Amino acid sequence: MSLSGIFSSAHQRRSFLLASGGLLLLCFLATLWIANRPEQSPSLETFNSFLNSVVASGAFAILSTLYISFFVDPNEVQKAAVVLPQDISQNLERIVADSVDYQISVRTGRHFRAKTLPRLLEQAKKHRQPIRVDAILLDFRDEAICEQYARFRQSATFDSHLWSVEYVQSEVLATILAIARAKNEYPLLLNVQLYLSKRLSTFRIEGSSQELIVTREDPKDFAYRYHRSHRDYAAYAHELGLIRTEASNVDVPTNVAPTEVLQTMFGLGKIAATVITAAEQAVGGRSPYA
């Protein structure tokens, strides 16, 4: 527990100052009463000196504490933002539970389609309130980007054996299918904007307009959360905006048969049949981070 932590709460700050100020006032009044007595014994003089010391040191301590509380401890700020690997799912659940909007910039969106999207729909149905989702995925149409990402995952992640160009494409398409089917099933509850980005990053940014969380590819990596009040929130929100601006907006159709969604969105013959088959099989898959 730190002074900055205690003083960050208005209630605790007020309680501390009132209690300390009240005690010092009583001590000060006692010194005045003793000083005005016509006769003072040695013990009373000693007690009066003690009270004077308490008042002086207490006043100095309060003023010093108030002064120190205006400074920022970088270590405390850093610790407040860090999320342990085992707490990432819990924090994502909490953000989703409090959201009326959600934005995410990822590569394939495996965890998003398996866990986050269904949870967002549950919240929308529970509160009978539409939710806006901005989803930015890797542009599967760019094979060079997909190959670069696949090579990265092959060399640096826990599930390296899975990754190939076709796997990247099928996983992106599986997430697109999940989004399209959710929108088709709940057109009044899910307002989704889909973007395909050629920007490659090892970080994933997602969250609501109130809080963002930044994660990495490996479930053993630390994550970082930034509430809207955090000084770094605006930087990551701006980064999301830049990625969205540079990405291609893709219309998500409604009233289309599930087997025709991808062809309607991207055109007949544009996607290999094997990739489409793999994507359809992956739609209901589990999150690799569960």
Q: Residue 90: inside a domain, yes or no?
A: yes
Alpha carbons 93 and 88: distance in angstroms, whole number:
9
How many domains would you assign to the chain? Answer: 2
Q: What residues have CB less than 8 Å from 190, skipping those under 6 apart?
A: 120, 121, 124, 130, 131, 133, 182, 183
Q: Which residue matches tokens 């085992």?
A: 86
Q: Are residues 172 and 239 in the same domain?
A: yes
Q: Residue 212: inside a domain, yes or no?
A: yes
**Spatial contact of 91 and 215, defined as CB atoms under 8 Å apart:** no
pTM (two decimals): 0.74
**Spatial contact of 221 and 213, defined as CB atoms under 8 Å apart:** no
Q: Are residues 59 and 105 in the same domain?
A: no
**Spatial contact of 177 and 118, defined as CB atoms under 8 Å apart:** no
The number of beta carbons lying within 10 Å of the beta carbon of residue 217 is 19
Q: Are residues 56 and 101 in the same domain?
A: no
Given CA atoms 216, 219, 223, 225 in this order, what sign does their dihedral have?
positive
* C-alpha separations of 237 from 59, 100, 216, 242, 256 in Å: 43, 16, 17, 9, 33
Q: Residue 290: inside a domain, yes or no?
A: no
190-197 and 131-138 beta bridge pairing: parallel
Instruction: Classify residue 207 by burial, with Cβ atoms within 10 Å: 0-12, 13-18, 19+.
Output: buried
**Spatial contact of 164 and 146, defined as CB atoms under 8 Å apart:** no
For position 8, what pLDDT does the model report?
57
For position 258, what pLDDT does the model report?
75
Alpha carbons 46 and 69: distance in angstroms, whole number:
34
**Spatial contact of 205 and 105, defined as CB atoms under 8 Å apart:** yes
Q: Are residues 200 and 246 in the same domain?
A: yes
Q: Are residues 221 and 272 in the same domain?
A: yes
Q: Are residues 116 and 177 in the same domain?
A: yes
Contacts of 248-251 spanning 24+ positions with Cβ under 8 A:
248/139, 248/195, 248/196, 248/197, 249/193, 249/194, 249/195, 250/176, 250/194, 250/195, 250/196, 251/194
Phi, psi of 48 (to 5 degrees): -65, -40
Q: Are residues 95 and 232 in the same domain?
A: yes
pLDDT tens, residue order, the chain (290 aa): 555 556 556 667 778 778 888 888 888 888 888 878 777 777 877 887 888 888 888 888 877 776 666 655 555 555 568 888 888 889 999 999 988 999 999 999 999 999 999 999 999 999 899 999 999 999 999 999 999 999 999 987 778 888 999 999 999 999 999 999 999 999 999 999 999 999 999 899 999 999 999 998 888 889 999 999 888 999 999 999 999 999 999 999 888 887 788 888 998 788 999 999 999 999 988 887 76
Q: Are residues 55 and 106 in the same domain?
A: no
Helices 88-97, 117-127: crossing angle, 10 deg rounding: 30
What letter does residue 88 receive in the DSSP assignment? H
**Spatial contact of 176 and 159, defined as CB atoms under 8 Å apart:** no
Q: Are residues 11 and 108 in the same domain?
A: no
What Rg do the C-alpha atoms of the chain give, in angstroms?
A: 29
Strands (E), 129-254: 131-138, 190-197, 203-207, 211-216, 223-227, 248-250
Domain of 8, in residue numbers? 3-71
**Tokens matching residue 126:** 């529970």
